[in-house]
Every structure is written in C-alpha cells, then in structure tokens.
Amino acid sequence: MPSEYNTMVLQKKGCEGKIMAEIKHQLIKDLIVEYSECSQPAKGTIIFVHGAGGGSWCWHDFMGFFSANGYNCYAINLRGHKPNPDLDNLGVLSIRDYVTDVELVISAIDKEVILFGHSMGGLISQEIAFSGKFNISSLIITGSAPPAGIKMEAPKQAGIGYKIKAFAVGLGMLYKIIRKDPLRPVLRATRHYVANCIPEDKQEELHNKLVPESSKVSIEVLKGEIKADLSKVDIPKLALAGKEDMMSLISMQRKIAEFHNMELKEYDNHAHMLMLEPGWNKVAKDVYLWLQEKVKP
C-alpha cells in the first residue's frame, strides 16, 4: 500500500444511516490521492476522477456513501491540482498528461476498478476504458465532456449577448494558450455554469475551492482530441445527467450516452455538480443499486 500522507475523518452515513467513513490521503506516483476503505469485505474498488479545476474534495460525500456501503474508494488529484504542488507549466499540460496520471494510479492500486469521472474526468475515464489496458469492471460518468464526434453545445435559447461572450471567452482562451497561461476560475461563470443548483449561499465557497486549469486541455476538449468509442466495449456503462446543467447540456449528455451505448439516468433539479448538490444522496443510491445489479463482486 502506498505511503500515507495524512488523515482526516468525515462523518458520512450510508444507506442504513449508521457507518462513518474515514478518508485518508496517500501519495501515489507523486500524486495526492484520497482513499476510504469499507469496514467489510469490499464489493469493489471505485476510482473517482475530478473535472477541470476540481479536486478530490468534490467526491467526499460520494466517498463517504460508497465506503459505508461496501466499496473501497480512491479520489485522484490530478497533477497541478491542490493539494498537489502548483506547476509552472500548468497552462500547457495536455489531457493526455491527466490520462497518464489516472493510469499510474490504477496500476499502483492493481485491482479491478470501477471508473467514475466527472466533466473533464468523465472524458479521461472514457479514454482509459476505451484503451483496454486495465481491468475496468464498469464506467460511470456525470456531466461529462464529449469525445470526438460530439460537439460541445451552447444553450439553444442563447441570444446574441451569450454568443458575444462565448466569442470573447474563446479569444481569451486563445490568448492564454499562446502565452501558455492557465485558465483561472471566475465567480460569475462559476455561479451560472457550474453551481447553478448549489444553494446560493454556498456557491462562493465552492468557487473558492476551484483551481486554475490548463488552457491547452480546454482547447483539446473543444477540438475533440479524445477519440474514444465505447459502443462495443462490453462493460456496464452509466451516464448521469442533470437537466439544469449549463456546462454539459442534457442534450449533449444524451448524445454521449447514445454514442457509447450507455445507460442514461437524468435528474430534475440537478446541474453540473450532481455529487455536491442537494439531493446528491438520491443520485448516489441510484448508482449503488445500479452497481448491485450490473457489477458482481
């Protein structure tokens, strides 16, 4: 087992409303990875992969829930994402650098795993499941970025003001990638696109946890650099989508699920941060029941 970094205890209830989960940190291949082990023979091992600007913190509720219900859980912090050290070259990291990070952690754990990715992490997880290099028992994605062949979508009701802003954002991204600068989170954008189903008084708290992201990765996602087609990959596959998601629109999530021949679960009153929004426990329980049905220990 990799060396322990430090320990913290979170009180998270399972389906029975009793068990507490202990979440610890490990250093795995120079990455700080959080883990929580169940107190009974494990039904499986889940690896959680965060999205752009995120970190293992966004999975704490799900880690508590699933470890309390029989799963060993690992949540990766990709390179350059806190609590890992800052990187001078963050702006030029490729999404394939992040794929490598996740692959190294899977190799170190050396078990059959359930991959669970959010947003950019969903795309990373698609690529790894498609590669066939690892023993992946099932794939779950939520609010995922799209693979090649599916375009990022803007809200259909978007008017000229939105399009002008989108054009300006695109120019800003181009300027930053030319300068090799990272993209930094903006509170107004966080409120509108990421945290629109998070209680208003909690939105800034979430925003303050976000970190800068590679501008190169953002361009790669928009260009469709990841060419993963899971339609013939014979593992259980599940996509989760919030109908209010302004970052990864429900229409795009339906296309991703159809493209990969994945089962899709849609949620009213949920958006991009399903695992943190009020009602997250209903989503977690749905995933738990799906795993019980589809993935046998």
The tens digit of pLDDT for each residue in 240-261 reads 999 999 999 999 999 999 999 9
**Residue 153: its pLDDT value, please?**
84
What's residue 154's pLDDT? 74
The tokens for 31 are: 């990455």
In the block, tokens 């929580």 appear at: 36
The span from the CA of 114 to the CA of 128, in Å, is 11
What tens digit of pLDDT does each residue of 192-213 get? 899 999 999 999 999 999 999 9
Alpha carbon distance 212, 218 (integer Å): 11
Confidence of residue 218 (pLDDT cuts 50, 70, 90): confident
Q: What is the pLDDT of residues 47-93, one digit of tens each?
A: 999 999 999 999 999 999 999 999 999 999 999 999 999 999 999 99
Residue 238 has pLDDT above 70, yes or no: yes
Q: How confident is the model at residue 17 (pLDDT cuts 50, 70, 90)?
A: very low
pLDDT tens profile 148-162: 999 988 776 555 555
3-state secondary structure at position 19: coil
**Domain boundaries in the chain?**
4-294
Q: What is the pLDDT of residue 16?
A: 42
Q: Could you give the CA distance from residue 26 to residue 72 in angstroms, rounded to a whole number?
A: 14
Does position 143 have pLDDT exceeding 80, yes or no?
A: yes
Helix ranges (DSSP H) in 1-153: 60-68, 95-109, 120-131
Q: Residue 171: pLDDT above 60?
A: no
Mean predicted lDDT score pLDDT of the chain? 88
Which pLDDT tens digit goes with each residue over 102-118?
999 999 999 999 999 99
Task: Give pTM, 2 decimals.
Answer: 0.90
Burial of 208 (0-12, 13-18, 19+ CB in 10 A): exposed
Count CB neighbours of 200 within 10 A.
Answer: 9
Residue 46 has pLDDT above 70, yes or no: yes
- pLDDT band at residue 163, thresholds of 50, 70 and 90? low
In this predicted structure, the answer to whether residue 281 has a pLDDT above a threshold of 70 is yes
pLDDT, residue 6, reads 40
Q: How confident is the model at residue 5 (pLDDT cuts 50, 70, 90)?
A: very low
**Cα angle value 266/267/271 (rounded, 5°):** 110
Residue 35, both tokens:
């883990």
How many Cβ atoms sit within 10 Å of the Cβ of residue 66? 28
3-state helix, strand, coil in the chain (%, to 5): 40, 20, 40
pLDDT over 50 at 127, yes or no: yes
Top CATH class, 4-294: alpha beta
Pairing assessment for the beta strands 4-10 and 21-28 based on DSSP bridges:
antiparallel
13: pLDDT confidence band, cut at 50, 70 and 90?
very low
